Amino acid sequence: MEEHPDTVLWLLLAVPVIGLLAATLLRWVPTGHLLVVTRRGVVSRVVRPGVAVRGPAGDAVLVPTEPEEVPLHVRATTRDGTAVRMLVRAEVRLVPPTPLERYTDPVRAAVPSAERVLQAAIEDDPHGDLHDLPVRLRRSWPRLTALADRETTPRGLRILSLELAELDAVLVPSLVDLPGDGVGPR
């Protein structure tokens, strides 16, 4: 059985072209992630795990669906005037966007809202001092989690839990906190 040279030539040309097209147009979406395809900043489709077809002129963002940890940095002042710095670990889950809505990074959009909720909790604390502040915060975590979740869900982020990692009270102002340029006495 003899093959025609034309057939071999076509096979040698077709196989790399098909491979190149498959490599550029197909994308694997791993388990535990969604592929958000946007065009000009607007979500055009959301693809579940598996093989996804990627078209030209579309941006694709891989979004995790598993809970992940995000740090929240809070600076506040208690009612007695003490500066407080707090680091809170928030366990969050991203809300899948819907087609035709504007896509923004959910973490970047939602974290400032959650930080403002925690800042208000410290500033509006009725006791107004540092005595037992960590205990009072831990008792109010369910309420604060619900408030932060209510603020962040429209921005694409669900807050599942909060955990206080660090709480610092600034008792002596640093040079950065002093009025003026912070260099020498005035």
Q: Which two tokens stand for residue 181?
A: 């340029």
**Residue range 15-59, pLDDT digits in tens:** 888 888 877 788 888 888 888 888 888 888 888 888 888 777 777
Backbone angles phi, psi at 75, to 5 degrees: -120, 125
Please, which pLDDT band fits residue 138 given cuts at 50, 70 and 90? confident
- The DSSP string of 25-47 is HEEEE-TTEEEEEEETTEEEEEE
Beta strands in the chain (DSSP E): 26-29, 33-39, 42-47, 50-53, 59-64, 68-77, 83-94, 157-170
For tokens 């807050």, name the residue: 159
Spatial distance between the Cα atoms of 167 and 56, rounded to a whole number of angstroms: 48
- Global confidence as pTM: 0.72
- Which domains are delineated in the chain? 5-63 (no CATH), 67-170 (3.30.479.30)
DSSP classification of residue 102: B
